């Protein structure tokens, strides 16, 4: 087999393992997922997994890197606002809701929320790769909004978590309570931003 097709085969196998890992983690939870189950679902020998990953944690980290980190990078690389800060935040949060709520990404975020406390290394990795970047981007936007006079509450910069609260509520609500009370996450976001920026004036 020529080296190029061998490399392609290796990448393919790695992708199959990551895909199988995602399905297993989501179905069983992080603690209950076994490498045997992942190998079986991926159609590879268990030993093959060790050629690609040291352990379950490193496999989960790869999953976050592939599935969630690119979304955060796309969102945090938004251009400097030409319109209002609110417009930019609406684009940011709207994209997050579209790309995460009701998707496999949302399932992964819920998994981290549920099992992170028992697996500090996983939570630490997620904080470093995802949360800290998102918070830094939000803080920068809040500071810009305060400087421009769009945001009156000066202390919001100390708590950028408040800005992204609707996204986290939507992720958790979706899995726990949506069947009892469906949530319109986009509309909740609009109300939340009205509270921060003041109601949008309709012309």
Could you please report the per-residue DSSP string of 32-52?
T--HHHHHHHHTS-HHHHHHH
Whether residue 156 contacts residue 142, with contact meaning beta carbons closer than 8 Å, is answered with: yes
Q: How far apart are CA 190 and CA 86, in angstroms?
A: 10
pLDDT digits (tens, 9 = 90+) for 23-77: 999 999 999 999 999 999 999 999 999 999 999 999 999 999 998 988 888 877 7
Give the residue ranges of DSSP H helices in 53-119. 56-67, 69-76, 85-100, 104-115
As a dihedral over the C-alpha atoms of residue 165, residue 171, residue 172, residue 173, rounded to 10 degrees, the angle is 100
Give tens-digit pLDDT for 95-150: 888 888 888 898 999 999 999 999 999 999 999 999 999 899 889 999 999 999 99
* pTM summary value: 0.83
User: What's the CA gap between 191 and 51, in Å, rounded?
Assistant: 50
């Amino acid at each position: 087999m020529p080296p190029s097709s061998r490399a392609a085969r290796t990448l393919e196998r790695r992708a199959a393992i990551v895909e199988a890992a995602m399905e297993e983690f989501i179905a069983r939870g992080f603690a209950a997922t076994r490498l045997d189950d992942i190998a079986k679902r991926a159609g590879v020998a268990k030993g093959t997994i060790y050629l690609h990953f040291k352990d379950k944690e490193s496999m989960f980290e790869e999953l976050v890197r592939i599935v969630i980190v690119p979304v955060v990078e796309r969102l945090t690389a938004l251009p400097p606002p030409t319109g209002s800060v609110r417009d930019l935040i609406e684009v940011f949060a709207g994209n997050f809701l579209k790309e995460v709520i009701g998707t496999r990404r949302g399932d992964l975020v819920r998994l981290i929320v549920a099992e992170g406390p028992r697996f500090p290394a996983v939570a630490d990795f997620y904080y470093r790769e995802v949360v800290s970047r998102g918070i830094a981007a939000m803080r920068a936007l809040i500071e810009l909004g305060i400087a421009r006079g769009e945001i009156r509450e000066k202390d919001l910069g100390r708590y950028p978590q408040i800005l992204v609260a609707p996204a986290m509520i939507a992720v958790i609500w979706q899995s726990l309570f949506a069947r009892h009370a469906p949530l319109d996450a986009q509309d909740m976001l609009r109300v939340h931003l009205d509270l921060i920026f003041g109601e949008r004036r309709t012309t």
